[in-house]
């Protein structure tokens, strides 16, 4: 039996990472665009709520189980901003470049030791749009925000996110490294544990 789930995201950077993160899984993870699912409003007040909203929306339209990622960057000295508003940080027509510029402006004059930040990733999986027992989990990744961008890999805030343990930004990491240690990578590990505890033996997971 073909096991297919919809990946409820329109972000090309995330989709690239998920295709590697789910590479070894015995399921087909297909982007929502293949089912004509477009973005929905992210009205939640937390990463987890927004992940659930996106997963339910994609499942409703595709008729398939769906997995969503809601993620973002929380900067300590900004009280956790931009947080769940990371993608919309620079307002109407926001792009990664504008968001990064706005972040640099917000942190102007702030010394390195006070530039700590975390990437957050919430994952939500629903078997159907009205699934009363979704699988949800989340993970964080610690770093600090540089004063200028470095690196070409990845997406979003990666060029500004310096990971001290690796001595480089997440945009300077080879794809394999980021996909071993990132908030999203850790989230998928947590998700896999829940998946094995609840889904194995069901139709979906075989």
Would you list which residues are annotated within the binding site for substrate?
9-14, 71, 155-158, 178, 183-184
87 touches Mg ion (CB under 5 A): yes
Tell me the C-alpha to C-alpha distance, in Å, between residue 132 and each of 127, 161, 200: 9, 36, 18
Q: What are the CA-CA distances from residue 171 to residues 20, 48, 162 (Å)?
A: 17, 25, 9
Catalytic residue among 26, 39, 69, 70: 70
Eight-state DSSP code of residue 200: T
155 binds ligand Y43 (CB under 6 A): yes
Cα–Cα distances in angstroms (integers) from residue 27 to residues 58, 79, 153, 185, 200, in the given order: 17, 39, 27, 17, 12
Q: Binding-site residues, please?
A: 9-14, 41, 70-71, 155-158, 178, 183-184
Within a 10 A sphere around the Cβ of 127, how many other Cβ atoms? 21
Instruction: Report if residue 156 touches ligand Y43, rule: CB under 6 A.
Output: yes
Tell which one of 3, 10, 78, 198 touches ligand Y43 (CB under 6 A).
10
Residues with a known catalytic role: 70
Give the binding site for ligand Y43 (CB under 6 A): 9-11, 14, 39, 42, 54, 69-73, 86-87, 99, 119, 154-158, 170, 182, 184
């Amino acid at each position: 039996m073909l096991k297919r789930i919809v990946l409820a995201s329109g972000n090309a950077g995330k989709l690239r990472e998920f295709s590697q993160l789910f590479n070894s899984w015995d399921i087909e993870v297909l982007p929502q665009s293949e089912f004509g699912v477009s973005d929905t409003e992210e009205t939640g007040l937390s990463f987890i709520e927004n992940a659930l909203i996106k997963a339910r929306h994609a499942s409703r339209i595709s008729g398939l189980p769906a997995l969503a990622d809601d993620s973002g960057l929380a900067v300590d000295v900004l009280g956790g901003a931009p947080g769940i508003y990371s993608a919309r940080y620079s307002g109407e027509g926001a792009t990664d470049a504008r968001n990064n510029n706005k972040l640099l402006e917000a942190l102007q004059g702030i010394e390195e030791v006070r530039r700590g930040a975390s990437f957050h990733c919430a994952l939500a999986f629903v078997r159907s749009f009205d699934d009363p027992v979704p699988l949800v989990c989340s993970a964080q990744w610690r770093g600090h925000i540089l004063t200028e961008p470095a690196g070409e890999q990845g997406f979003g805030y990666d060029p500004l996110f310096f990971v001290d343990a690796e001595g480089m930004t997440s945009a300077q990491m080879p794809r394999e490294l980021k996909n071993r240690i990132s908030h999203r990578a850790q989230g998928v590990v947590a998700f896999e544990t829940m998946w094995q505890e609840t889904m194995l033996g069901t139709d979906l997971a075989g």
